Amino acid sequence: MPPFSKVLVVNRGEIAVRAFRTLRELGIGTVAVYSEADRGSLHVSAADEAYLIGPGAPAESYLNEERLLEVAARAGAEAVHPGYGFLAENAGFARAVEGAGLVWIGPPPDAIEVMGSKTAARARMTAAGVPVVPGTTEPVTSPDDVVRIGEELGWPIAIKAAAGGGGKGLRVVHGPEEAERAFESAQREGEAYFADPTVYVERYLEDPRHVEVQVLADAHGNVIHLGERDCTIQRRHQKLVEETPSPAVDDELRDRIGGIAVEAARAVDYRSAGTIEGLLSREGEYFFLEMNTRIQVEHTVTEMATGLDLVREQVLIAAGEPLWLRQEDVRLTGHALECRINAEDPSNGFLPSPGRITSYREPGGPGVRVDSGVTAGSEIPALYDPLVAKLVVQGVNREHARRRMLRALDEFEIGGITTLLGFHRALLEHPCFAEGATCHGIVESKELAERAKQLSHGTTKVAIASDGAALRARTSTVELDGRRYDVKTFVPEPAHAELARRRRDRAAAGGRGGAKDALVTPMQGTVLAVEVADGDEVEAGQVICIVEAMKMENEIAAHLAGVVRELSVEPGQAVNSGQVICVVVEPDA
Ligand code: MV4
């Protein structure tokens, strides 16, 4: 007998598709929801039934709680799976699901709530004897407080948003003189993201590893851990590569941090799959950071290494079944690696690169798994997160997995949009990654972005001939004397294409015909703060203003040293991509 007759998945994209696969295996009927922008999406056709949720902005459709519960009732679903993101860590929604007589395939709402406040979580963990990064469990309310705590803990310190998580609002403060600006900036980001400006302070650890532990807890008091994932490779707190085991964790350390994670889960009466995120210092100390009370994007590396299906475990736990395996039954085999293939352009500051996928072919072969929600012809909307696919491999050891990943990245073909395929090739070939180092600073480096561009296949569409005219490369296959050759020919670019390209290049160079002294915002958003006044002398790299776009704070810095003139933005103002903020001129011009 299946544990449920029918389950509604209130999410989209790859995680919805992935959840439907497990539900099918369990003999459970599947229900999808979709926004108007997602009518043609893969997750819609992957379910037995699908319901339109809307009208309304596409990004908000999946958050329309009332409408989602209506769909559950109309479809006759018995349980709701939230995937990740959207409503997965919303205690109010979890309660509403249970209040409607449905089963919530997730943790108890009270556990979601406690872990949702970073300060409450730190207090609860401290009480339970779980090590947390030294710092405050009470909110910090003034720059003076920050200075006082900095003197106590020793500099540098980290200011973080209390409602936050995932590093949002994180500001590093190296000394008293930086306290005020960092405090205000962290508050602003907390407010922008979570409508809560509360912040707290921790000791700042230099060059740590992000090591998290997967746990499973049932409704009968059994809690086990499935080893760790190392997610140290991040950019602006977005994870890019995840692996298990961590290059920095041996069997003894795994037992220790696994034990810490189990204690942390017990301290909030956890149930379902969850993740204890922590920092591993260079000295080998492990500190609790936060708990993610949902299935995570990177759960797949743990699945590869353990052979388990974590969504299956979530469903069985929600149905009230006791865990079928004990801690000593968990076996980690070889090494698993995951690369997030995002629609982003590494040579353009990882700016989202939405658009239509014109061609698509996934890699295969031994030890390769692809989780994705797209196919050829799919539109990657600008409104949702940029994850196109997760490429996961397993090998007998880390080096085998690394080479297997490079092979699979080469097989992966995604045409029509810019993705991180080339970036991952460049990163995995880099000695820092091969050595299992933290690669801090390398991930963001210009060197890697340039290498990524060289290694992204099929993007060099235009070559420049010696007379300056643009040429287009066209690859054809020919057979010569019974051997196959790929031959590149170069043909002149048509006039209309050349005009369009020149326009694009001009826009990229600065919007106003490429005027070198104009500072423009590279993204559409809202100005949060302006840090300079007209007539101020600035250094190259000095922050001019902060633009919030898609809930991220972006510092717009002076591109050269000089005096600020024609400053045309103020806090609260909406700006368009390419809009001029000010000009920077030579000091006595
Ligand atoms: C820190 C830290 C140093 N000290 N907290 C938090 C969320 C995660 N996305 C990054 N976070 C960090 N929190 C203290 N007290 C450094 C980071 C950090 C980081 C940690 C591990 C691996 C990569 C990182 C990249 C940026 C920041």
Look at phi and psi of residue 122 and say left if phi exceeds 0, alpha if psi is from -120 to 50, else beta.
Answer: alpha
Give, using CA atoms, the residue closest to atom 5 of ligand 1.
Answer: 204
The one-letter amino acid at 142: S
Find the helix or strand (DSSP H, E) in which 302 lies: helix 299-306
**What pLDDT, on a 0 to 100 scale, did the predictor assign at position 160?**
93
CA dihedral 319, 99, 84, 312 (to 10 degrees): 10
Give, using CA atoms, the residue closest to atom 12 of ligand 1.
Answer: 167
Strand partners, 340: 390
**What pLDDT, on a 0 to 100 scale, did the predictor assign at position 514?**
39
Strands 368-372 and 387-395: antiparallel
Q: Does ligand 1 have an atom closer than 6 angstroms to the CB of 277?
A: no
Distance between CA atoms of residues 60 and 38, nearest Å: 12
Give, using CA atoms, the residue closest to atom 10 of ligand 1.
Answer: 167
**Distance from the alpha carbon of residue 297 to the mean position of ligand 1, in angstroms:** 18
Strands (DSSP E) contained in 222-378 are 223-230, 234-235, 238-239, 241-244, 272-280, 286-292, 335-342, 344-345, 351-352, 355-356, 359-361, 368-372
Q: Does ligand 1 have an atom closer than 6 angstroms to the CB of 97?
A: no
3-class DSSP assignment, residue 81? strand
**Distance from the alpha carbon of residue 543 to the mean position of ligand 1, in angstroms:** 22
Q: Does ligand 1 have an atom closer than 6 angstroms to the CB of 234?
A: yes
554 with 529: CB under 8 angstroms?
no
Ordered DSSP codes for 419-470: -SHHHHHHHHHSHHHHTT---TTTTT-HHHHHHHHHHSTT---EEE-TTS-E
**What pLDDT, on a 0 to 100 scale, did the predictor assign at position 352?**
87
Low-confidence residues of the chain: pLDDT under 50: 459-461, 511-515
The one-letter amino acid at 274: G
Query: Which of these, 279, 230, 275, 265, lies nearest to 250 by C-alpha position?
Result: 230
**What's the CA angle centered on 247, arms 423 and 412, to 5 degrees?**
30
How many residues make up the chain in this entry? 589
Q: Does ligand 1 have an atom closer than 6 angstroms to the CB of 208?
A: yes
Distance between CA atoms of residues 268 and 416, nearest Å: 46
Give, using CA atoms, the residue closest to atom 7 of ligand 1.
Answer: 167
Q: pTM for the whole thing?
A: 0.84
Distance between CA atoms of residues 217 and 199, nearest Å: 31
**Distance from the alpha carbon of residue 304 to the mean position of ligand 1, in angstroms:** 26
The one-letter amino acid at 43: H
239 with 231: CB under 8 angstroms?
yes
**What pLDDT, on a 0 to 100 scale, did the predictor assign at position 218?**
98
Q: Does ligand 1 have an atom closer than 6 angstroms to the CB of 200?
A: no
Distance between CA atoms of residues 416 and 502, nearest Å: 20
The one-letter amino acid at 235: R
Mutate to test the pocket of ligand 1, among 146, 207, 210, 296 (most ligand atoms within 8 A of CB): 210
